[in-house]
Amino acid sequence: MTEEWQQNISKVVEEGELLQGTLSQLRRKDGAAAPKTIVRPVQLKNGLHLQFEYHYSNKVTHENVLPDLAGAKIIELLEGDYKQALFKTTKADLQLLFNKKGKATLLSKAPTGSVKAADMQHNRQKNRVIAEGTAAPFLVELGIMTADGAVHAKKQDKYRQINRFLEMVTDVLPSLPKDKPLTIVDFGCGKSYLTFALYHLLAVEQKREISIIGLDLKADVIAFCQQLADKLGYDKLKFLVGDIADYEELSEADMVVTLHACDTATDAALAKAVNWGASVIMSVPCCQHELFKQVQSDVLAPILSQGLLKERFAALATDAARGTLLEVLGYKVQMLEFVDPEHTPKNLLIRAVRSGQTASKDKWEQYEQFRSFLHLSPSLEHMLSDLWPTKTDADVKK
């Protein structure tokens, strides 16, 4: 359970109120941790970060961490390494002390910090794709923002997730075709917060010609989403009821999004995306059961004999197989950390951008070795069975 001091520290970081934190008084003197760590906000080229400055006896090292991840990092350092900390914030000076039994006391005094906190706060907002202060109509309708653009306290996580997703999309926009209307599909769209966000970014803000289709099995959820799209006047956003595997209404798409579609539904979405020649694929896998049942390796018995470890390993192997198969087909693949308030452990986003290169035999061999070693037979490989380089070579030799 999250303790009160942890909630306070997280909040200070999340709200952009931290001016400087000093972590000191090592718990152990084994030389592993830096005797002192200073944390402060820094404005870098790629946006606001929190810089962790580790002070060792003979060197100082730095690590820049995204604001959304910094609170958890500070808490981890405090739990592992330090007995004391002072946080200068815009609202108070907070002193944190742990007693011998590890119990924390957090004292609050009037603020003494003098850094331009308001500027930092402003920068943080400026860096959001959808900044606070101006109401985005879809966020108001979805109950995330008030009509004057403030984010409801309980919806901060969702708001952050939406912005993080849009940042990840913004990075790859140059890889989408520029000279034609874009077709985007969101498979397993569910309540579609992120589908609406995508429409807002591209159609409303950037005034691009696009059409987005959201597909999901749940008729009631789809009816709600369609009503909302109609109410917002998002006329190129259509919601359909259906199974990803059976969806045959398109012959090409520029971008395919599939966030938390269950188990092999993700593979069906990836296979469609590849067959449609999608330039960009964004996928957060979920509930990876398939390879859990298949994976075998005596060497890995220490992992595979423990249910929890096996589950995590199988999930990693699933994503590694998917990523490598996309690479075989000429996609540039990145595995990114996705902030996900509802499904925290399922926090990995596969971002794949089509490079135009032909299928790579080397990558295919790498994949084959990997899946043979673990005795895997992933669905995505079967769904795209015509495309693998060796099959083509074998056919040519016949």
Ligand X SMILES: C[S@@+](CC[C@H](N)C(=O)[O-])C[C@H]1O[C@@H](n2cnc3c(N)ncnc32)[C@H](O)[C@@H]1O
- Positions touching ligand X (CB under 6 A) are 188-190, 193, 215-218, 243-244, 259-262, 265, 286
Residue 325 CA, chain-centre distance (Å), reads 21
Strand (E) positions, the chain? 18-26, 36-44, 47-55, 60-65, 82-89, 93-98, 104-109, 182-187, 210-216, 237-241, 255-262, 280-286, 331-337, 348-354
- DSSP-derived secondary structure for 243-288: -GGG--S-S--SEEEEEEEETTHHHHHHHHHHHTT-SEEEEEEE--
Minimum Å gap between C-beta 221 and ligand X is 6
Minimum Å gap between C-beta 54 and ligand X is 36
Minimum Å gap between C-beta 266 and ligand X is 9
Q: Are 322 and 304 in contact (CB under 8 A)?
A: no
Minimum Å gap between C-beta 209 and ligand X is 24
State the burial class of residue 232 (Cβ atoms within 10 Å of its Cβ: 0-12, 13-18, 19+): middle
Minimum Å gap between C-beta 241 and ligand X is 9
Residue number with the smallest Cβ distance to ligand X:
190
Q: Are 219 and 241 in contact (CB under 8 A)?
A: yes
Closer residue to ligand X in complex, CB, 162/321: 162
**């984010």: which residue's tokens?**
151
Closer residue to ligand X in complex, CB, 96/225: 225
Minimum Å gap between C-beta 218 and ligand X is 5
